[in-house]
């Protein structure tokens, strides 16, 4: 397994629509494994293939640290309710913003063995599925932010006069 470089906002690959996966290949399996390694190393909740420079309709999530899920060619089948909260992204480091997403989603996708499944999710997992699905269509959460983006950097980076050291 290997860590992949995470593309950051401004990289044109993040604004492209991803292509469906037609079959599972050894390279695609390796990509999925690398995506989980990269996700865990970065302390993220989800990671989409375009974030590591691959234009395939794949994302991985783990909302609890013990719930790894693979979504290939995902499609949100149903959504309802709403939740508003802070959201961040590994491709937009050091920033957060308020985003409203569905409280509930039902998604259909294929797993790493190309078996179709449907999953119902609420709360953080629902937010993550919507966020990562947006990546596959070339969209970043910053397009949905209500208000402004905030720095997530700690004030420890400043000295007592409020100036950066």
132 part of the active site:
yes
Pairing of strands 83-87, 95-101: antiparallel
Give the active site residue among 23, 120, 132, 165: 132
Nearest residue to 121 (alpha-carbon basis) of 137, 139, 133, 135 = 133
* HSE toward the beta carbon, residue 92, CA cutoff 13 A: 19
Cβ–Cβ contacts within 10 Å for residue 19, how many?
A: 13
Q: What is the DSSP string of 109-150?
A: EE-TT--EEEEEEEHHHHHHHHHHHHHHTT--GGGT-EEEEE
Cβ–Cβ contacts within 10 Å for residue 159, how many?
A: 9
Nearest residue to 128 (alpha-carbon basis) of 41, 65, 34 = 65
Residues known to be catalytic = 132
């Amino acid at each position: 397994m290997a860590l992949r470089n995470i593309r950051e906002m401004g990289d044109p690959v993040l604004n492209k629509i991803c292509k469906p996966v037609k079959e599972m290949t050894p390279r695609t399996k390796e990509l999925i494994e690398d995506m989980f390694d990269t996700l865990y190393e970065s302390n993220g909740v989800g990671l989409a293939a375009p974030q590591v420079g691959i234009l395939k309709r794949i994302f991985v999530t783990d909302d609890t640290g013990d719930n790894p899920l693979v979504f290939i060619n995902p499609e949100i089948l149903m959504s309802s309710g709403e939740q508003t909260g802070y959201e961040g992204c590994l491709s937009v480091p050091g920033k957060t913003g308020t985003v409203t997403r569905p409280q509930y989603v039902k998604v259909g996708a294929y797993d790493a063995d190309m078996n179709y499944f449907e999953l119902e999710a609420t709360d953080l997992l629902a937010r993550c599925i919507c966020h990562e699905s947006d990546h596959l269509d070339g969209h970043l959460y910053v397009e949905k932010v209500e208000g402004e983006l905030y720095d997530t950097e700690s004030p420890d980076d400043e000295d007592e006069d409020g100036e950066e050291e």
